[in-house]
Structure 1
């Protein structure tokens, strides 16, 4: 019997505490309605704006659109130049790779340098300097033909050498090999190929 009375007292007491807690805290539905009313009051229709407010709103929108378009143009320009340098068959990067492949396929050079043959920029003990961009130069001859002159270094386990490339632009605007030779110190003759 004592148990029953304690349980009977708990039920009404619990309900009373829940009602007091919910009354002291505003409901979530009221908060949402209140914030929706505030946002509806602060945003005006275009027709309700005054002339200076319309000018300000139009200027903000134009500036934002202009900024987005300028960012897209700069990004597109950067992507174009990076893509043309890396993937174009006429880029200096592609010419270096092609010349290095020709050096690797030359049997006499493979015998002198050993395998595998690696190519790099100016020689240095510093690894970051060895990975510099391969230097090249564009020049015109007396006939007005454009030449590409490139120098890079090759090395294998047995020896190392200097590779010189001379290319000329043909009538279609494509680079054609004129000379490709490797100077290996200590060898009696230079290996040539094109």
Structure 2
């Protein structure tokens, strides 16, 4: 009996040390796996956030890029602008000292709980250059509507071509905002002296 008991006791101690070692390794592996999983999930979340920001900036109808693209197309399609500038017509934002053309100049503000965006960019045709001034207002459906958009020729005399002017329409847009140029809605072009 004594020999059998002594041989049983060491086996039990060995098994208990193996069990505690396997529990430690299991906890260690589980912790490592959980940490790596959290890192991967955080990476996927950051990537999704970046894609959302890029998508919102480039493809949203309320982004400055989208407003610029639509306004540029509106200017290029107008025959008065084509005649005044000459074709082809190119558009660009502010020019730096290095000659690079940055994003279009714009400002977004809220007045009377309505979002407004004013924008300015430049057109260059074969004959002349011009500056586009516009303001859009968020409509009741959530998309922007033009309050005004006009092209001012850069050369003297500063001829102004009014593409759209809804400042007088009190039902469609919110009134009371001063603009950089007071243009009568009935006159499609003006000469400023």
Please indicate, yes or no, whether the TM-score normalized by the shorter chain is above 0.5: yes
Moved over 4 A (4+): none
Q: 2:149 — aligned with what?
A: 180
Which residue, out of 100, 105, 118, partners 1:135?
Answer: 105
- 1:113-124 counterparts in 2 under 5 A? 113-124=85-96
Residues 1:160 and 2:129 are matched in the alignment = yes
Q: Which has the higher strand share?
A: 2
Larger radius of gyration: 1
How far is the alpha carbon of 1:84 from its aligned partner?
Answer: 1.8
User: How many corresponding residue pairs?
Assistant: 145
- Cα distance in 1, alignment partners of residues 21 and 161 from structure 2: 81
- Cα distance in 2, alignment partners of residues 156 and 125 from structure 1: 21
Per the alignment, in what secondary structure is the counterpart of residue 190 of structure 1? Answer: strand
TM-score, normalised via structure 1 length: 0.69
Change over 3 Å in CA distance of 1:104–1:167 after alignment to 2: same
Q: 1:32 — aligned with what?
A: none
- Cα distance in 1, alignment partners of residues 109 and 48 from structure 2: 30
Per the alignment, in what secondary structure is the counterpart of residue 50 of structure 1? Answer: helix
- 1:19-168 counterparts in 2 under 5 A? 49-124=21-96, 126-127=98-99, 129-130=100-101, 132-141=102-111, 143-168=112-137
Per the alignment, in what secondary structure is the counterpart of residue 81 of structure 2? Answer: helix
- Cα distance in 2, alignment partners of residues 158 and 125 from structure 1: 23
Question: 1:123 touches 1:153 (CA, 8 Å); kept in 2?
Answer: no
- Cα distance in 2, alignment partners of residues 84 and 49 from structure 1: 52
Please report the RMSD computed on the Cα atoms of aligned residues, expressed in angstroms: 1.8
Q: Which has the higher helix share?
A: 1
Change over 3 Å in CA distance of 1:60–1:188 after alignment to 2: closer
Ranges in structure 1 where 5+ consecutive residues have no aligned partner = 1-46
